[in-house]
Amino acid sequence: MIYVPIFKVRTEEMLVSKKMNYCFSDNIIPLFEILKDQYKTRYQVDPITQEYIYEQGNKRKKRIKEEPTEEDIITLDYISNLINNKNAFIDYFRFTIQEYEKNMGSKKIKNVDISKMQLAWKLSRNTTLYIEHECNVSKYENLIPTISVKSYFAFKKDQLQKLLLNLQEKSKSIALRLTEEFLDEYCDLIKDTFRETDYLLFDIREQNPISKFMELDEVRKLKFKGKKILLNSPRKASINNGDYEEQGVTELIDNCAREEYINYDFHGFGDYCGLKDELPTRGNTAGKGAALALLYNYNDNSFYSFLNPDTKQGISGYKKIIPLILSKKHFFDPINSCPAIQKIETMRKEGRCGNWRSWHNINMTRYLHQIYYNMQQSNQ
């Protein structure tokens, strides 16, 4: 089995990727959706003395940062170092508001923060620049250039073939991320072009794999060199925290892709590690909202929901959730190996309840570790 955890390049996803990079291997290959560039930090210096220039901060003086330039971009170096030079798919993210409008809901989509994904916004409007960025991925032996084809972002068949062949000359592996509506159009290209080291990432997004049996069977019948991975986003973006059950297995996340992929001769599956596929929004909740923890359990392939429905409590609502989770530690972590449970125990000891981002971190950490741990067990 190959598992592909999908990470948008945001703070918590990157923290999880760094902390959990020991999980990555030929069997767990992360896919990074790059929303914005990372820059090398430079500081202003006095042109004569060559010493740093300082300004007065709230408590002490601090160095003044230089405005970043294109020469300061270190995005791919940053990701490669973060994952300890393990293999990873690199998908320079492109999007339209329309494709997310229905799933995220009108309120969320109006609150989308373009400033948090300026590169993605730019590449979504410039195909030539997008291709240049994906070609740059080929400079890294461990990074796999991933061409994404979906609504609003299709290629003419001959253009796509030329791009794939060009990438194959430079990279030992490439990937084509494809949504269902383009399968018929590109099936011959895939059969004629793919090598054994290449990947087809068949992305059904939020649709349930069971309902897509015809499309999955079509991929099953598609004979080509290379590996087939089923991508799915089982946690729907339209479902709010307060919609989940207060305690117990949630019926709102059907993770059947983990089981269905094998029925159609796929080599593996991928998802967002317990998060939603949604665009970054402005942080204007003022700390209010329903506190929610979703803990994945591999053995029954289910997410367990712990919810404090009192939205007025906001983040402090986790004070009620933490002891509920830890009262079931014997179920979630019988051998004291789960880093997510360890994070929650540390919170309790220190009298903290975390924030929204730290609980996203816990959800992702738990899911990734459950996949990793059970893969290790099955290989023994």
Express as a percent the part of the chain with pLDDT over 70: 98
Give the pLDDT of residue 136: 98
- Provide mean pLDDT across the span 243-270: 98
Q: What share of the chain is helix, strand, coil (3-state, %, to 5)?
A: 45, 20, 35
Q: Does residue 286 carry a pLDDT above 80?
A: no
- Provide mean pLDDT across the span 170-192: 97
| Residue pLDDT, tens place only, 74-105 | 999 999 999 999 999 999 999 998 889 878 87
- Provide mean pLDDT across the span 163-180: 98
Distances 148 to 41, 127, 153, 246, 355 between C-alpha atoms, Å = 30, 12, 8, 37, 33
Q: Does residue 50 carry a pLDDT above 80?
A: yes
Q: Does residue 120 carry a pLDDT above 90?
A: yes
Distance CA 84, CA 24 (A): 9
Distance between first and last Cα of the chain: 14
Tokens linked to 356: 């929204």
Give the pLDDT of residue 104: 86
Give the pLDDT of residue 116: 93
Distance CA 200, CA 221 (A): 14
Closest CA to 185 of 161, 211, 216: 161
Tell me the CB-side half-sphere exposure of residue 98, using CA atoms within 13 A.
5
| Residue pLDDT, tens place only, 287-297 | 689 999 999 99
Q: Are 202 and 178 in contact (CB under 8 A)?
A: yes
Q: Does residue 283 carry a pLDDT above 90?
A: no
Q: Does residue 191 carry a pLDDT above 80?
A: yes
Confidence of residue 352 (pLDDT cuts 50, 70, 90): very high
Confidence of residue 106 (pLDDT cuts 50, 70, 90): confident
Give the pLDDT of residue 380: 67
- Provide mean pLDDT across the span 98-125: 89
